[in-house]
Structure 1
């Protein structure tokens, strides 16, 4: 049978994160695992409804909304969890901080125990999971955190699971990682991935290669607005922050995750003006 890709979009209203179930002839591969208790259990329920065992879990990057649900998707089964080493390292470095930061907000929906990658893979590896083969691209810090990877399914689907490299029709989280490295990755990866048909992203609908250009345009508009509204200083006051947010919301009126516009402004301003970040 042709490999089928099923999308699970979370019911958690703030981030609306995606996870994916790749259905092969006899098994399933889950790509990313959502944030909350309810969503991760619903993701596993959707997988179980397909009537095939989960042969593996892939984690594209280390942010909680993509890795926290692994504990419930595994359900204490001996399911291998695949990731590049930097993803596991970032999870280890940030787990306790994230628990402290977010557990109060999410309450019983917060998952207090993370399940870590068990199978570490490297850039350029071919990873066989059941009947499916994925090619791994470790793209480093050029994304919305310091540990990002792309997983390529090079069968007739020509599908790329890109995590948060692209945000389709959503404002972008830029408070971790680096905007300039991200722009460089988009530039480098566009020709490298031009033959892939579908790009499965962490937030928003399935993309195509044109969305690499749209993401670059968003970043350039964002960076320009940061500098213009701070008179080139990268430092906001209350008034300039409101003006900046209004510029971005007006430019992209239909985009979701509107709270992210202001959330990343200080970090981007510091990077663009070379202000030392601790």
Structure 2
């Protein structure tokens, strides 16, 4: 396996957290294993890594109930069709994915938009799946305009995806540091969750919120009108973080390709 799999055992629920290698931005897919089925959260950018997750899921010997896409960034939905299960998302996220049109795998393979677009809307609130309560929360602003977080209250697990990064540089292309800071405060306000699953990086505990707060504060201080200067400054401030290419991608949105 090229990616890294971390297994979290919470009795009736086991979570298999897959982190892609550095060349795919350390993006994560969560496989939530309930007593009789699997629920996947996010579907990878590179089809090869989506296939790794699917092969691992098959080895667990339980049917894949659904794939939930948390937000409309291609690194989280390109591989959706590889899972062979209904694709769910917030209605706004579904519309945003459909509006992007066809995608392209890093190998150059075209991914038709119909293969990636969710067909079933997620409604915020609690849904009991295979006897396990899932609390779906819609968040607005931050890393993306619309994002879904999932709480497993009985297991103390928060599936935050791209509302939280762990030891990885942030994508700031949505240009909404205040919105992201607000979302972090909302997530951190409930101390009942001792496991936080990020959208980039390995599983963490609640201490990840302080790490994220520091980074967002630094970014607000350092982000001026020069993308390369910002990259030098933020990587010096956080030298142990991975995913420096995420800064480059964000800078393309913030400053244009000539200042990425």
Name 2:149's counterpart in structure 1. 150
8 A contact 2:138–2:148 mirrored in 1: yes
Q: Which runs of 5+ in 2 are unaligned?
A: 1-10, 256-260
Deviating 4+ runs (over 4 angstroms): 265-269
Partner deviation per Cα, 1:24-49 (whole Å, 9 max, x = no partner): 11111111111122111111111000
Q: 1:261 aligns with which of 237, 240, 247?
A: 247
Name 2:231's counterpart in structure 1. 245
Q: TM-score, normalised by structure 1?
A: 0.80
Task: Report the RMSD for the aligned CA atoms in angstroms.
Answer: 2.2
CA spacing shift, 1:52–1:188, aligned 2, 3 Å: closer
Residue 268 of structure 1: how far off its partner (Å) = 5.9
- Which structure has the highest strand share of the two? 2
Q: Which runs of 5+ in 1 are unaligned?
A: 227-233, 270-278
Separation (CA, whole Å) in 2 of partners of 1:177 and 1:92: 22
Partner deviation per Cα, 1:126-170 (whole Å, 9 max, x = no partner): 123333321110002x23111201011122x21111110111000
8 A contact 1:179–1:268 mirrored in 2: no
Name 1:71's counterpart in structure 2. 81
The SS at the match of 1:220 is helix
The SS at the match of 1:26 is coil
Q: 1:224 aligns with which of 221, 226, 235?
A: 221
Largest Rg, 1 or 2: 1
Separation (CA, whole Å) in 1 of partners of 2:145 and 2:153: 26
CA spacing shift, 1:88–1:251, aligned 2, 3 Å: same
Q: TM-score, normalised by structure 2?
A: 0.85
8 A contact 1:19–1:32 mirrored in 2: yes
Q: 2:62 aligns with which of 29, 52, 61?
A: 52
Partner deviation per Cα, 1:56-91 (whole Å, 9 max, x = no partner): 2211112111111110011xxxx3322211111111
Residue 197 of structure 1: how far off its partner (Å) = 1.3
How many pairs were matched up?
A: 245
The SS at the match of 2:66 is strand
8 A contact 1:60–1:161 mirrored in 2: no
